Chains A and B, each alone.
Chain A
């Protein structure tokens, strides 16, 4: 891996780099630390002075309250189910579209692509009412698909996959055609397997987006047993009585899966983002 000699950077430079990075890590991580630690304290302890930075003893109590209030298991499942299904669908659909935009010539291609890119600029608050109207007409209110399907129309995924697909050699596709492969087999058996990093990047990005999605699920989900984590946590933000320990625990639980997903896929993520951005 290391092609250059390790002593190339002076020892002073090395120390400096480590110091800067560690300070950066502390700043990045501190709010999370505060969140984790707070989830083990009572509301009163969190708000007292000086700030509590040690681990408290109220974790189990907070968990019990949290579970009583929002039914953490069910809510967690909803979030996970929606995020996973969404990620799979959107990765599949985006890469198909990206492939088409990168490797085919057809009438209307440029217009389609322009439309897709233009939608990135629309603030989504303005679409809520018309979209909600449609969900009602379709009878989709309070279903998983109401959360999932409208958000599949995601320009970023298409863009990212197109950029990655551009570098796939045309000659390979041509050769496969001559060998008698159908168009779909070429895509699924030859092109997609080489796109792992991009797919990983997209998967993290989409999982993250859907996991934290708030406004849209809030509008279309109607009962507690369908709520996703962010919405369930928002119910704890009541008027005059807020239990901060409980909320902090809830947010900690909400953060962990994303950390894990990122840890698993981060290598692919970086390579995939690379493919998307370099040829921008």
Chain B
């Protein structure tokens, strides 16, 4: 070591210590450092690697660089396009229905006169916490054409049996029903939280103006709830576009790809067909779609952040 440097060292050290001592200017870094390290190691790095992978082809134990081939192939892949279509179908039908339903339930549970609120909240929230194995099994038992409970009830009322999991339309419907069952309560809780945040004074002011319940809902509740509804819409959109469970366990994507989701096809491509590069490319296309949709929703709802 250089002697000159050693001479300077004590001085440098003290000022360095002063610098790194937590103060209002640098404390942010301290608070953020642990999670950022975790993010870089366990998120950013794998993301970069899989991104590189999306330009490669894996065969016979080796990765080969293929440029944009995977991406180009993707737009000629009719199953991928079908899966995209299915995802949009779910998005357009299921998300609005679910959020509307969640909003209605939330408003009801928020009623002043209602007793046992805790019970209702839990009852509606429960589906969101089901373990996947149970969810799969129970819903297959419920939706089975010949032995399922739903058809059992239908036939008790003299209605025809419905081929829940095999019809081109009914299978999509089944997935939508299952998703709605699972996630309505979750969104309801978030919306309920928002409703409870609207202060009584605003409603009281409204009461003096002589607005009825419906007017009150549209004039006061809805505008104030906009940011929360937006929050639900965006998280649901992301959830729907990454939909995997229902397609995988209820219909296996069938019949004839009528219900397969992009994430399900992605899993098949990577883990069943072992085309890792192709699967990676698919996931980045999905990311772009999600990003664009979220942005549109923000702009549409006029959110500022």
Contact = CB atoms under 8 A, between A and B. Distances in A.
Nearest to B290: A121
Interface string B181-213: 100010001101110110010011001000001
Q: Which 5 A-B pairs have the closest CB atoms?
A: A104-B28, A251-B134, A274-B193, A100-B31, A130-B46
Interface stretch (A55-63, A65-73, A80-88, A90-98): A90-98
Nearest to B37: A153
B266 A149 contact: no
A153 B49 contact: no
A10 B165 CA distance: 43
Given A120-B238, A125-B263, A125-B266, A24 B31 contact: no
Nearest to A244: B137
A214 B131 CA distance: 9
A6 B149 contact: no
Interface in B19-34: 22-32, 34
A120 B39 CA distance: 12
Interface string B126-156: 1111111111011101100001010010000
Contacts of A109: 28
Interface of A: 2-4, 6, 8-9, 13-14, 17-18, 20-21, 24-25, 27-29, 31-32, 34-35, 38, 46-47, 49-51, 93-94, 96-97, 99-101, 103-106, 109, 112, 115-116, 118-123, 125-127, 129-131, 134, 149-153, 158, 177, 182-184, 187, 208, 211-212, 214, 229-230, 233-234, 237, 244, 247-248, 250-252, 254-255, 258-259, 262-263, 266-267, 269-274, 277-280
Contacts of A229: 131
A31 B138 contact: yes
A217 B181 CA distance: 26
B230 A280 contact: yes
B124 A24 contact: yes
Main SS at interface, chain B: helix
Contacts of B149: 34, 51
Contact of B27 (A2, A25, A104, A259): A104
30 contacts: A14-B111, A21-B120, A27-B181, A35-B134, A47-B147, A93-B35, A96-B31, A99-B31, A103-B28, A119-B47, A121-B238, A121-B294, A127-B43, A127-B50, A129-B276, A130-B46, A134-B41, A134-B42, A150-B38, A152-B42, A183-B22, A183-B24, A251-B137, A270-B121, A272-B193, A273-B189, A273-B193, A274-B194, A278-B193, A280-B227
Interface stretch (B69-77, B168-176, B279-287): B279-287
B112 interface: yes
Contacts of B23: 183
A270 B291 CA distance: 28
A182 B194 CA distance: 34
A150 B291 contact: no
A278 B267 CA distance: 35
B105 to A, nearest CB: 6
A51 B137 contact: no
B138 A97 contact: no
A268 B26 CA distance: 32
B114 A233 contact: no
B35 A153 contact: yes
Contacts of A151: 42
A121 B283 CA distance: 10
B44 interface: yes
A271 B192 CA distance: 9
B123 interface: yes
B16 interface: no
A230 B197 contact: no
A255 B231 contact: no
Contacts of B279: 125-126
Quick one: which of A35, A126, A182, A214 has the most chain B CB within 10 A?
A126
A20 B108 CA distance: 9
A252 B132 CA distance: 12
A123 B242 contact: yes
